Amino acid sequence: MLRDKEHDQVEVYDAIAYRLQRCLTVPKIRGLNDITSCEHYLCVYICNHIVECIHRLDSQGKAVTQWPVDDKPYGLSVNRSHNLLVTCRLVGKIKEFSSHGDLLRAITLPDHVINPWQAIQLTSGQFVVCHGDINDPVHRVCVINADGSQIVHTHGGQPGTEAVQCDVPIRLAVDTNNFVFVADVNNRRVKLLSPTLDCNRRAVTSDLLKWRPVRLHLNTQTRHLYVSDNEWKDGKYGAGRVVVFSV
């Protein structure tokens, strides 16, 4: 778990008892904004939007490396090839890196996918992408074809509170059947969408959250959904907690 505070550490918790086990030190980690892990390589990736780089550390925290992204990274995920997908929001691109930082390809998203937060590659090779910042006219979740050129399915549109709308859909999680969980920040809920995005329900309602859901992680084996629930106050995130739901 990452905390936005003044020290260079990642906190490791027991997944069953939720007790702090240890802290892993990552030098010069200021500007962190997302974290993901890879079970195949037994490592953790952290993106740094200030230095515009990826930090990679092994599961014991003994080997720490980093490599440049050359754009500001905002969202991370690992695909079935065990490569790292980095969503670069300001330029509308997905960059795919090997586990050791080799740039394999850069995918440019359609022009009207504005401010993409995160992309996850589906088993079909397509990508599910969430996009839309607070002042943008369109807030959506999209399924985009494998080369990034075409939108195949969409959910959302003009920002709002209705069931078919989103208001800053900031992070995603995908299960083994390609159902999509969406952190709908300003509506204080987590939505569950079908693989074609045409059927949805609330997986986590606002009454189960204290603040705003800003990050998601799904354990596909246990069907536990981890939600980072953070307080927004005076223009910044302050207090926070992780809430675990059985889905």
Alpha carbon separation from 48 to 32, 171, 215 (Å, rounded): 4, 17, 16
Note the pLDDT of residue 235: 72
Amino acid at 247: V
Note the pLDDT of residue 234: 76
Q: Which fold has domain 109-246?
A: Neuraminidase (2.120.10)
| Tokens 């596909």, located at residue | 220
Alpha-carbon torsion 163, 189, 35, 41, what sign?
negative
Token code pair at residue 245: 């739901």
Kindly list the domain boundaries of the chain, sorted by start residue: 109-246
Mean pLDDT of 53-59: 89
pLDDT higher than threshold 60 for residue 6:
no
What is the Cα–Cα distance from 160 to 162, expressed in whole angstroms?
6
More confident: 75 or 60: 75
What is the Cα–Cα distance from 44 to 191, expressed in whole angstroms?
26
pTM: 0.92
Q: What is the pLDDT of residues 127-154, one digit of tens each?
A: 999 999 999 999 999 999 999 999 999 9
Alpha-carbon torsion 75, 80, 84, 90, what sign?
negative
pLDDT higher than threshold 90 for residue 232:
no
101 within 8 A of 65, measured Cβ to Cβ = yes
Q: What is the pLDDT of residues 148-172, one digit of tens each?
A: 999 999 999 999 999 999 999 999 9
